[in-house]
A and B are shown apart, each in its own frame.
Chain A
């Protein structure tokens, strides 16, 4: 090894002749350079677009020492005054440093991601493509009472399938969701929401993530709500039934009071004096009033229970209304009242609606009208109120 003063540049150079160890050292260094470059190129092809510019800059940084050292070692430019490999290494470091700052290598994101997985309450289990367990977070160990070192590398089938009944095919379905129960000795049964997601990152081998969320308290609330709802419905049905029964039980004796009062008033059981007739009239009126109250009570109970449902089908209104009118005319005739049903000529031959309910409305309206009309007549009119509606 000799020190020389270069007369042209004025630099002192260290002249270091290559010994036998030089080439093994070159082979060693280049193997690692090659490997590093290969890894970077591989990253470049497999990573998403957004990461490529960052990898590209890294490749540039690593190529500089390659090129400079290649020039020196190969001796293609013999006039190069000194080995500038170390200089290019400095440039490489500068580029890498710039990269660090620009792309936020030191950002917290990956660390944060890991911390989240470690600390969330949901159990997370990672399986590889052969459905072997490769990772699980503390919530998962806790949930299944496992120890990390007992299960890593073991198959899902042997460790977890006995605990969570889910088909192996389902594990491979991205987006699969199922609600399952988990029974652990000495613990109450837990309800879990199970989700499967596939790892689709092309840089990895692929695999599957199982996420399990404890929804036991939600389930319990749901069940409690359902029980409360059923009880409320039961109580409501009971109320409706009770009112229907009460109304029936009240109506029969009311009918008896009214019937006998009528018969006595008609002198079917012999003569009565004026005072007796007036008294019977008051009994009759009060009974009718009471009957009205019972009817209202029952109507209300039926409305409350929401039993009314409409069935819409096409029907011929003239036929339905005509038949109804024929039957009701008997009621009117019995009271010596005129009864008329006028149907407007532009009523279509067929309309869509609940004909039974319409008939019921007609019957109730008209029979009530007949009931409360003493003289004259009852007229029901069916006509077009506006473009969209018909009126009775």
Chain B
């Protein structure tokens, strides 16, 4: 069941980017919870029951990949849509390779446009 309004968790250590994602998703009708730190995100995101998780890969303490794998190991977040955003295409390629069979996962290279994020978020969540 989708939250009303839908809830998005944003995990991004760059404050400006987090702000941009947040403003974009709020504009798309989402409630937003922000995380700037891998360790807190690791503990909290899975408890949120969010409809969409935007996840940066390079984070302090825990990497986005570790958080992603942890999310998938919990039934509550096993099928939540995850948008992984990374500035490192090699890392994106590596993840594309290891997660060939992953469902409800999109890997995007930075920078992503506001339009792209807006449209993807709406499409993913409202299609659910």
- A251: which B residues are within 8 A, CB to CB? 87, 110-111
Cβ of B120 and Cβ of A334 under 8 Å apart? yes
A135 to chain B: closest CB distance in Å? 65
Q: List 13 A-B contacts (CB under 8 A).
A: A247-B87, A251-B87, A262-B20, A262-B114, A263-B24, A268-B23, A268-B27, A291-B111, A295-B89, A298-B90, A320-B100, A323-B101, A355-B100
A286 to chain B: closest CB distance in Å? 13
Within 8 A of B (CB), among A285-314: 287, 291, 295, 298-299, 302
A131 to chain B: closest CB distance in Å? 60
A223 to chain B: closest CB distance in Å? 33
- A355: which B residues are within 8 A, CB to CB? 100
Cβ of A255 and Cβ of B123 under 8 Å apart? no
CA distance A363 to B102 in the complex (A): 14
CA distance A298 to B88 in the complex (A): 9
Choice from A244, A254, A256 contacting B88 with Cβ under 8 Å: A244
Surface stretch bound by B, among A87-95, A102-110, A175-183, A325-333: A325-333
- A334: which B residues are within 8 A, CB to CB? 116, 119-120, 122-123
**Do A263 and B114 form a contact, CB below 8 Å, given A255-B87, A323-B100?**
yes
CA distance A120 to B7 in the complex (A): 87
Cβ of B101 and Cβ of A266 under 8 Å apart? no
- A295: which B residues are within 8 A, CB to CB? 89
Number of interface residues of B (CB under 8 A): 33
Q: Is A248 an interface residue (CB 8 A)?
A: yes
Q: Is A45 an interface residue (CB 8 A)?
A: no
Choice from A244, A263, A298, A331 contacting B20 with Cβ under 8 Å: A263
Cβ of A252 and Cβ of B110 under 8 Å apart? yes
- A260: which B residues are within 8 A, CB to CB? 16, 20
Map CB proximity to A onto B98-120 as digits: 1 under 8 Å, 0 otherwise: 00110001100011111110011
Shortest Cβ-Cβ A-B pairs, 7 listed: A255-B111, A259-B20, A262-B114, A251-B87, A334-B119, A256-B16, A356-B97
Cβ of B112 and Cβ of A255 under 8 Å apart? yes
Cβ of A335 and Cβ of B110 under 8 Å apart? no
CA distance A256 to B13 in the complex (A): 13
Choice from A258, A268, A299, A331 contacting B111 with Cβ under 8 Å: A258
Most buried by A among B14, B100, B112: B100
Cβ of A359 and Cβ of B96 under 8 Å apart? yes
Cβ of A263 and Cβ of B23 under 8 Å apart? yes
Cβ of B27 and Cβ of A259 under 8 Å apart? no
